[in-house]
Amino acid sequence: MAGQTYEFDLMQMSAIREMANIGLGHATTALANVTGKSFNMDIPNVETVCLEEVPMMMGDPSDVCVGISMPIEGDVEGYTAFLFPWKSAQELWGMLLGYSPESPEDVDDLPASAMLEVGNILSASFMNALSDMTGLKIHATPPMVSIDLAYTIAASIVAEAELSDAVALAIETRLFGMENQQTTGYFLCVPTLEGLNKLFAALGIQGAA
Amino acid sequence: MAAGQVLVGMAEIKVIKGTGQLTCLGLGSCIGLLAYDAESGVCGMAHIMLPEAFKDKPVDKPGKFADTGVPALLAEIEKAGGNIRRLTWVFTGGAQVFKYGAGTASKLDVGARNGEAVNAHLKKLGARILAQDIGGTSGRTMVANIETGEVRVRTVQGGEKTLCQLKRVRAEAA
């Protein structure tokens, strides 16, 4: 039901955490491969909340971010997204392009497509890892990029997710630590309840009601 | 937020009277819908997420949907002592903020549908729409200051501008 917070038991929560660990581990490695820099991964928080609460959880809601939205299709449906605060996005651009737009107004086609490529790499490795782990068909659809407030980006994803009956929500607030700089990112995953239960079933865990 | 500044979160409806300001932060595909009764000084704002309530599910927060949000906003304004026959309306939002990528021509296009739905419900009411700023690819923050009557809209790329002046309406109407 819309607006509802789902209760997951310990087993289900640890399965969500494990899937996030493995999926994001692969995504982080893929990002390290294209940028030539090493990234540390840390999952400080896995929470399930009701959809309207999500926009307040992606760091400072009034920070300018680069958001990459990646809808999931196949046996499991829903949305995943990465949010990079502006300074972190600039660091990523520096690694990928050798320069970075100074302000959001300076973002043109090249930096935008670099972020789309980051989205392709992250989502493909994330979904492949989940697929391998569960034997389910899970694939990414082409990513979309927005440069706006963290709140705006998260709210727009959540609204669409709710419309497509993404009733359940597992959210991971994510951090990418890097050697010297701090490249921080937030990860959002909004599967449908049906999709999440298919993942649970594939892992031999009882589904959520 | 400072005293008197009220943040209207997703799916919420907030009403203030005489003083203070109402803010809808970072409206992407959502709509910030404002209704103001100059005579009583009652001002209400709804942060609408989707065009219509789901037929098969109970509505937990009426402010979430355009079809339930408009009547719920009217009820809240009336409860606060406003006269719903004197209202002026302003709304912003309904953007498609994912500007880049192959999936941007989304079949869902929630923003555009939200804008159409709010427009249709206001038309049905015969509402007086003072200003609207909808569509495009930029998220908007809408701030209504009840003391000055100023409604301002801020975007990341376009900065801040005054959308309209609520109090001028009162002077013209008088």
Summarised one tens digit per residue, pLDDT across range A61-70 is: 888 999 999 8
For residue A76, what is the domain's CATH number? Answer: 3.40.1550.10
From chain B, pick out residues whose CB is under 8 angstroms from the CB of A62: 25-26, 141
pLDDT tens-place string over residues B24-80: 999 999 999 999 999 999 999 999 999 999 888 888 899 999 999 999 999 999 999
Does residue A2 fall inside a structural domain? no
Which B residues in the span 72-111 are in contact with A, Cβ-Cβ below 8 Å? 95, 97-104, 106, 108, 110-111
- B78 touches B35 (CB < 8 A): no
- A145 touches B99 (CB < 8 A): yes
Does residue A208 fall inside a structural domain? no
- Using CA atoms, how far apart are residues A168 and A200, in angstroms rounded to an integer? 13
Does residue A53 fall inside a structural domain? yes
Does residue A207 fall inside a structural domain? no
- A108 touches B100 (CB < 8 A): no
- B46 touches B33 (CB < 8 A): yes
Does residue A1 fall inside a structural domain? no
pLDDT tens-place string over residues A90-139: 988 998 899 999 999 999 999 999 999 999 988 889 899 999 999 999 98
- B57 touches B66 (CB < 8 A): no
Q: Count of CB atoms within 10 A of residue B85's CB?
A: 8
pLDDT band at B17 (very low <50, low <70, confident <90, very high): very high
What's the domain count of chain A? 1
Amino acid type, B72: A
Residue A153: domain span: 10-202
Asked whether the beta carbons of residue A148 and residue B139 sit closer than 8 angstroms, the reply is yes
Q: Is a pLDDT exceeding 90 seen at residue B6? A: yes
Does residue A185 fall inside a structural domain? yes
Interface probe for A, chosen from B1, B5, B7, B10 (most Cβ of A below 10 Å), is B10
Does residue A168 fall inside a structural domain? yes
From chain A, pick out residues whose CB is under 8 angstroms from the CB of B101: 116, 119, 142-145
Higher-confidence residue of A167 and B79: namely: B79
- Using CA atoms, how far apart are residues A89 and A84, in angstroms rounded to an integer? 5
Main-chain phi, psi angles of B54, to 5 degrees: -70, 135
Of A61, A113, A144, the CB nearest to B26: A61
Domain covering B5-173 assigned CATH 3.30.1330.200 in the classification: yes
Does residue A5 fall inside a structural domain? no
Annotation says B30 is catalytic:
yes
- Using CA atoms, how far apart are residues A96 and A85, in angstroms rounded to an integer? 16
Domain boundaries, chain B: 5-173
